[in-house]
């Protein structure tokens, strides 16, 4: 299992478009993906669960990947959150 924290640098927080793209990116991998914020945890492949995190700009997201391709998934999702998410 790989885990760590990633800041949510998007200026609107976790909103529908970001949740859709994040879940799509997570769905490219076979491993389990979990994100957490404010004591809540969500399946990273479930758009509604991601929205229910109610993560706001600047919040630290806990990212966990577990499974066969956990390394590449962790790197790709971290990169997405640090770079691509700020454009959405």
Class of domain 2-87: alpha beta
Residue 48 buriedness (CB in 10 A; 0-12 / 13-18 / 19+): exposed
Residues designated as active site: 15
Per DSSP, the residues of 23-82 read HHHHTTSSSEEEEEETTEEEETT-HHHHHTT---TTPEEEEEEESTTHHHHHHHHHHIII
- Domain coordinates in residue numbering, the chain: 2-87
Q: What is the pLDDT of residue 59?
A: 96
pLDDT tens digits, 36-73: 999 999 999 999 999 999 999 999 999 999 999 999 99
- pTM of the prediction? 0.94
Q: What is the pLDDT of residue 87?
A: 80
In 3D space, the residue among 43, 88, 51 whose CA is nearest the CA of residue 67 turns out to be 43
């Amino acid at each position: 299992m790989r885990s760590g924290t990633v800041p949510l640098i998007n200026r609107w927080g976790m909103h529908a478009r970001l949740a859709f793209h994040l879940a799509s990116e997570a769905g490219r991998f076979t491993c389990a993906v979990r994100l957490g914020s404010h004591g809540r945890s969500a399946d990273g492949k479930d758009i509604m669960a991601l929205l229910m995190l109610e993560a706001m700009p600047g919040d630290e997201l806990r990212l966990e990947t577990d499974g066969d391709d956990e390394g590449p998934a962790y790197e790709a999702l971290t990169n997405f959150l640090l770079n691509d998410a700020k454009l959405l």
